């Protein structure tokens, strides 16, 4: 199964992160490369691949994130300050044409940069934090608490009932778009419990036999998408209109038509880099 | 499969959380109950069940966490300040005898209380935050940023090779204890990628065919444990001694003996409320 934002193929080389002299050595290597970003979005070269520059392009080594090793090549990203308005979603126009390994590598960098910008201060004591672990952590300058990059687990799921799956549309979706329902996993619940709770909250259905299908990191800003399928007891819906514009049941033929982009399809499918697309392709028997 | 810290059976009633008057109404109901805690640990009644008190026991309604509805009964937990030394691990002595639904309910409360105590200040601007969403969020009093409870996804896995599984022991384990290897999912990787990375980092093995088995919330302080199994290419180990005291391969007979607590077993099994126990029981063919 093809899953977006996975398969960077690099060695994250966690073993070097706490070794400041080793990181400095890697950063001063002639082969070291720095990810080129326009605000948070990737710069692409003339072949459509990620553009990389030299480490000389950065002002302060303290602002480097060590992404890992591509073979022998050390890869870094700049730890940018994010200003308002830099999250302009032009990226969604080019993601479909990016090489999968490039999207994965850039996605990791984007998630880390977002995380740093939301953790300049210590949640426990309110004092400023500073980067450590080669960009994979922040430490409080006052109380010494270590902070590690946050990843939010999200369940994204289709419920099945008599050969049809439940899809919903959120208010901000493009016209015609329907996708799998989704929600954040809360403290004190398993993946399976979160799937059942979300489907009941948003669509009023009860489900059983929740099964895991696949997972994906989602860099907007840093979710772990956990794709599941469940069996609905009934197809009677009670839609939570504060969460969803609409929800409906679609059969395999309709899902296949949507994934193929056919004009008469019952909905506009989510893009191929979203795990909802992979999940629907798996269910429709095209991606399993 | 029996999984610890799941199955509270309550309705979390997310729909009421932002409705302050509804929460106040529930809190003033005669049937409302307040979870009794000794520091962070549960108080148990004479039958060994969670002890509950009246809402009159709390000084300020702003310090309430709304856990949800057990049938018609509104359940709350106190939002405690945690002082140093209150994380005394006596709880591990009683978890084995607690009713599963009680452990699940208490675990959710404990995770939330820990999270509040680490998020008194806004990570973005450093100013103080205050509770909202009936205890399921904090809002910055300065920049207005909303903060939601953090759940850290962790992969916990066994690698298989020719009828044996890989187990490791961490330095802090009790004597003889071995368990599944585990590690935090990082930004920019899927569950399957995290499993492969952690097994390579900690044990030096390469794996394929990573499969999800089950999941569990772990309230120390707030992880989502994601249990998987993978196939190892080889049984040659390179153990990372900064992470593990030891690692070894154990066959089904050995795993069964350990789970049964037999004196001659090759290792001391993790406790039944840990998902590593469920994972090993599933693999040994006893819990599938």
In the predicted model, what is the mean pLDDT of chain A?
Answer: 94
Instruction: Specify whether the CB–CB gap between B269 and B277 falls below 8 A.
Output: yes
pLDDT over 60 (residue A133):
yes
Please tell me the predicted confidence (pLDDT) of residue A93: 87
pLDDT over 70 (residue B124):
yes
Please tell me the predicted confidence (pLDDT) of residue A2: 86
Helix-helix angle A252-259:A275-283, to 10 degrees: 140
**Nearest by CB to B121, which of A125, A184, A187?**
A125
Min Cα distance B150 → chain A (Å) is 7
* Dihedral in degrees, nearest 10, Cα atoms B262, B266, B267, B270: -60
Whole-angstrom Cα distance, residue A46 to residue A277? 28
Helix-helix angle B275-283:B252-259, to 10 degrees: 140
In the predicted model, what is the mean pLDDT of chain B?
Answer: 94
Element spanning B22, H or E: helix B20-28
Q: B-chain residues within 8 Å CB-CB of A147? A: 123
pLDDT over 90 (residue A39):
no
Mean pLDDT on A121-132: 97
Whole-angstrom Cα distance, residue A110 to residue A220? 8
A132 pLDDT tier (thresholds 50, 70, 90):
very high
Q: Which DSSP symbol is given to A260?
A: T
Tokens of A158: 């289709």
Q: What is the pLDDT of residues B193-245, one digit of tens each?
A: 999 999 999 999 999 999 999 999 999 999 999 999 999 999 999 999 999 99
Q: E-strand spans in chain B?
A: 33-35, 37-38, 41-42, 52-53, 64-70, 73-78, 129-132, 137-140, 146-147, 152-161, 164-169, 181-184, 207-218, 223-232, 246-251
Whole-angstrom Cα distance, residue A254 to residue A178? 12
pLDDT over 70 (residue B158):
yes
Domains of chain B: 14-116 (no CATH), 152-283 (3.90.79.10)
Mean pLDDT on A124-134: 96
pTM for this entry? 0.97
Q: Count other C-beta atoms under 10 Å from residue A163's C-beta.
A: 9
Mean pLDDT on A122-148: 97
Q: Count other C-beta atoms under 10 Å from residue A69's C-beta.
A: 15
pLDDT over 90 (residue B82):
no
Please tell me the predicted confidence (pLDDT) of residue B219: 96
Q: What is the pLDDT of residues B34-47, one digit of tens each?
A: 999 988 999 999 99
Query: What ipTM did this prediction achieve?
Result: 0.97
Tokens of A21: 């002299």
Q: Percent of chain A having pLDDT more than 70? A: 96
Give the list of residues 6+ apart from residue B284 with CB closer than 8 angstroms, or none: B252, B255, B256, B259
Please tell me the predicted confidence (pLDDT) of residue B2: 86
Strand A41-42 versus strand B246-251 pairing type: unpaired
Q: Is B152's CB within 8 Å of A151's CB?
A: yes
Q: What is the pLDDT of residues A224-250, one digit of tens each?
A: 999 999 999 999 999 999 999 999 999
Q: B-chain residues within 8 Å CB-CB of A214? A: 190
Mean pLDDT on B148-170: 98
Q: Is A123's CB within 8 Å of B125's CB?
A: no
Strand B33-35 versus strand A181-184 pairing type: unpaired
A102 Cβ under 8 Å from any chain B Cβ: no
Q: Is B188's CB within 8 Å of A122's CB?
A: no
Please tell me the predicted confidence (pLDDT) of residue A61: 64
**Helix, coil or strand: residue A191:** helix
Q: Is A151's CB within 8 Å of B187's CB?
A: yes
Please tell me the predicted confidence (pLDDT) of residue B288: 45
Min Cα distance A198 → chain B (Å) is 10
Cα atoms in the Cβ-side hemisphere of radius 13 Å centred on B4: 22
Q: What is the pLDDT of residues A154-212, one digit of tens each?
A: 999 999 999 999 999 999 999 999 999 999 999 999 999 999 999 999 999 999 999 99
């Amino acid at each position: 199964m093809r899953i977006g934002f996975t398969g960077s193929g690099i060695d994250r080389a966690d073993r070097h992160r706490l070794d400041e002299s080793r990181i400095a050595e890697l950063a001063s290597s002639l082969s070291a490369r720095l990810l080129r970003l326009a605000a948070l979005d990737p710069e692409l070269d003339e072949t459509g691949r990620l553009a990389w520059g030299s480490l000389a392009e950065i002002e302060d080594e303290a602002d480097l994130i060590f992404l890992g090793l591509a073979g022998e090549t050390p890869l870094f990203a700049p730890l940018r300050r994010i200003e308002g308005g830099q999250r302009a979603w032009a990226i969604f126009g080019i993601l479909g044409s990016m090489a999968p390994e490039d999207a994965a590598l850039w996605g990791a960098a984007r998630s880390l940069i977002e995380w740093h910008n939301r953790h300049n201060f210590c949640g426990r004591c309110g004092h400023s934090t500073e980067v450590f672990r080669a960009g994979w952590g922040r430490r409080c300058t006052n109380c010494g608490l270590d902070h590690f990059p946050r990843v939010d687990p999200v369940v994204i799921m289709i419920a099945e009932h008599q050969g049809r799956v439940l899809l919903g549309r959120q208010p901000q979706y493009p016209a015609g778009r329907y996708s799998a329902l989704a929600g954040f996993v809360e403290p004190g619940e398993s993946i399976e419990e979160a799937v059942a709770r979300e489907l009941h909250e948003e669509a009023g259905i009860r489900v059983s036999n929740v099964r895991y299908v696949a997972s994906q990191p989602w860099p907007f800003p840093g979710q772990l998408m956990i794709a599941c399928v469940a069996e609905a007891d009934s197809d009677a819906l009670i839609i939570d209109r504060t969460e969803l514009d609409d929800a409906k049941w679609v059969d395999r033929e309709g899902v296949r038509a949507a994934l193929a982009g056919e004009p008469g399809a019952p909905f506009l499918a989510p893009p191929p880099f979203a795990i909802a697309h992979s999940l629907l392709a798996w269910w429709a028997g095209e991606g399993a």
